[in-house]
Amino acid sequence: MFKKHLLSVALGALVIAGASTAVRAEDTYIPLVSKGFQHQFWQAVKLGAEQAAKAANVKITFEGPETEAMVDKQIDMLSAALAKKPQAIGFAALDSKAAIPLLKKAQAAKIPVIAFDSGVDSDIPLTTCTTDNLAAAGLAADKMAGLIGDAGEVAVVVHDQTSRTGIDRRDGFLKQMKDKHPNIKIVSVQYGGGDQLKSTEITKSILQANPNVKGIFGANEGSAIGVLNGVKEMKKKIVVIGYDSGKQQKAAILSGEMAGAITQNPIGIGSCTVDSAVKALKGEKLPKITDTGFYWYDKSNIGDAKIAAVLYD
Amino acid sequence: MSDPALVKDDKDGMTTGDAVAALRRRLLGPAALQKLLAFASLVLLMIYFSFASPAFMQTDNMINILQATAVNGVLAIASTFVIITAGIDLSVGTLMTFCAVMAGVFLTYWELPMWTGIVAAIATGALSGVVSGTVITKMKVPPFIATLGMMLVLKGLALVVSGSKPIYFTNTENFSMISQDSLLGAIVPDLPIPNAALILIVMAVFASIVLNRTALGRYTFAIGSNEEAVRLSGVNVDRWKIIIYGLGGAICGVAGLLIASRINSAQPALGQGYELDAIAAVVIGGTSLSGGTGTILGTIIGAFIMSVLTNGLRILSVAQEWQFVVTGIIIILAVYADMLRRKRA
């Protein structure tokens, strides 16, 4: 039948075209199931993982659901990854509990699990390659204090109040201000879902309600860009501090619109995950948490080799 | 009931008493052909993936596919009813989430017994469906807009009720069994089919019976073929439509329980986008978006095509970017094949 033919030929062609990375049985294979894949941050994690995989001569795949709400889709991905009988697995949990039955299955099958970016409520992962977000946001608070003269009103735009990174970056920033910079008053903490447009609107309403705000901290890439746009639209001159990188944030830092930002080391997170998996396969002992580090960057050091290597476009 | 628009429906008992002709239509008619075509595509896909990777045709992986199909399959069943009436329900995904969150409220916050909580969650779904149906019929808001509105209302309510946090089923120890355990596997150890898949099958059988053997099913087809003719023949179309949307809502409630049990928590931000997967499964299964025709079996096959494709591409380690491209093209080809068949018929 013509139609059936068409269907199978087209499917076959497409699958073959896409399947250039198909796995051979004799390779050491380590699938990474991430929290996402479309954001530049995850692409940078993927890049780091690929570099480490090449160096260690192992095969990896990298995938994650379209949005960070799709817990069930991530579970499906993890199931499929386990079905491929990998030698080890890397996993960045969207929900710290939902995947535990599957991780137990991996443990029973003696497949080492390496967590990355955010941890799991379980001791199954041999290590977690992650950023110390509390400390990183604390550094942002110190920088903010320095830039506004250690006194005045400050606001925070966070991506959400449910994810580990959202909670830690918010709390890290607020705690550091409270402990070390008592003359700084946090007038508003708002949540924009990491959506640039929503964060823009939020920033504008913060500035409308608090005309004396001297600085705003945007706690992830989308929030930071939103803060930047909101400040620009309101024609204000205040200190903006961002998080992560991306083309827009880098340009804003170079042009002076943004004072600076905290960058994690996404490439390091990716390579740490693969390296840890390889070490686990060799039977090496791993620390409970592997801190992959973070840096402050601004106009003065954005070009340094150490910084440039961890920034992404 | 002699309107020619009604006669084209391919279901038995309604327009003709001729059992032989009806049987012939069932086996060889256009709907059967579409089902056959869809089924052939499914088999073809499975054969292809089996040859392409030894990891595909494994018990573990087949169970993965069954688990992955259950939620979308049940949502697609709910959508099938509405789509046959020439309507659409964009709220099925967020309604599923809202029902899951309400199950969390009933079981974890109010500490109701499990079965009471389950019934209450399904009733929540039915109630929401009745609201959609009422907005569509009494306020005359087109289904697309009415259910788009409901999609957002329910998304918001799920976040409000849950306080934007996942609700864990800590007071209901057996809750995860609904989806994850295998009742069948306990009896026949060689068939560890997860309960989620059994529930999908039970829902499919139930929906088929409703669609083919009850007045509600007959009116579903009739309204989709020619709503005006049905109205003129003295049928209370509004009431039937509200019941159909209510039934769809109740089925979404079942999907909500399945997904909550699967991930052992009610995730309030989940759900948007799931309505499109459900609609895709329905149309791949040969149900026309213009209403009047459709089968539950087709929908189930459609849902399996979607999940086999997703799983198979993952097993082959096809880059994720390409997975979307392939899935999109398959959806277009499946509906195109249906169009060709219709033109010829």
For residues A213 and A223, membership in a common domain is answered with yes
Residue of A1, A5, A9, A15 to mutate, interface with B, max B Cβ within 10 Å? A15
Q: How many domains does chain A have?
A: 2
Residue A66 lies in a domain: yes
Rounded Cα gap, residues A310 and A124, in angstroms: 29
B138-175 as b/e: b if 16+ CB within 10 A? eeebebeebbbebbebbbebbbebbeeebbbbeebeeb
Same domain as A187, residue A40: no
- Residue with the bigger pLDDT between B11 and B249: it is B249
- Given an 8 Å threshold on Cβ–Cβ distance, is B270 in contact with A22? no
The band of B5, judged by pLDDT with boundaries at 50, 70 and 90, is very low
Q: What confidence score (pLDDT) does residue B286 get? A: 86
Tell me: pLDDT of A23 over 50: no
CA distance A99 to chain B (A): 7
Report d(CA B336, CA B214) in Å as an integer: 31
Domains of chain B and any CATH numbers: 29-344 (1.10.3470)
Per-residue pLDDT at B59 exceeds 60: yes
Residues A249 and A230 in one domain: yes
| Same-domain check for residues A112 and A156 | no
In chain B, the percentage of residues whose pLDDT exceeds 90 is 62
Average pLDDT score, chain B? 88
Mean pLDDT of B234-246: 96
Q: Domain limits at A94? A: 21-131+266-293
Answer whether A69 sits within 8 Å of B269, measured CB to CB.
yes
Give dist(CA A274, CA A267) in Å, integer.
11
Concatenating the DSSP letter of every residue in B107-131 gives IIIS---HHHHHHHHHHHHHHHHHH
pLDDT exceeds 80 at position B18: no
Write down the pLDDT at residue A119.
Answer: 76
Contacts of A280 (CB under 8 A, 6+ apart): A88, A112, A114, A126, A286
pLDDT higher than 60, residue B180:
yes
Domain assignment present for A278: yes
Assign A195 a pLDDT band (cuts: 50, 70, 90): confident
Phi and psi torsions of A185, nearest 5°: -110, 125
Coil, helix or strand for B305? helix
The pair of structure tokens assigned to B9 is 């429906």
List all residues 6 or more positions away from A266 whose beta carbon is below 8 Å from its beta carbon. Answer: A41, A42, A44, A45, A48, A244, A310, A312
B296 burial type by CB count under 10 A (0-12 exposed, 13-18 middle, 19+ buried):
buried
Domain of residue A275, CATH code = 3.40.50.2300
User: For residue range A247-268, what is the model confidence (pLDDT) as tens digits?
Assistant: 889 999 999 999 999 999 999 9
Which pair of structure tokens corresponds to residue B190?
A: 């060689």
Percent of chain A at pLDDT above 90? 67
What residue type is A145 in one-letter code? A
Chain B 24-83, residues with CB within 8 Å of chain A CB atoms: 37, 40-41, 44-45, 48, 52-56, 58, 60-61, 64, 67-68, 71
pLDDT of residue B9: 45
d(CA A157, CA A219): 6
Contact B164 A161 (CB under 8 A): yes
Q: What is the mean pLDDT of chain A?
A: 88
Residue A302 belongs to some domain of the structure:
no
Q: Are residues A199 and A288 in the same domain?
A: no
**What band does A33 get if pLDDT is binned at 50, 70 and 90?**
very high
Torsion sign over Cα A250, A251, A254, A257: negative
The half-sphere exposure of B133 on its side-chain side, counting CA atoms within 13 A, is 23
What's the pTM value of the predicted model, to 2 decimals? 0.77
Whether residue A34 is predicted with pLDDT greater than 70 in this model: the reply is yes
How sure is the predictor about B79, in pLDDT bands with cuts at 50, 70 and 90?
Answer: very high
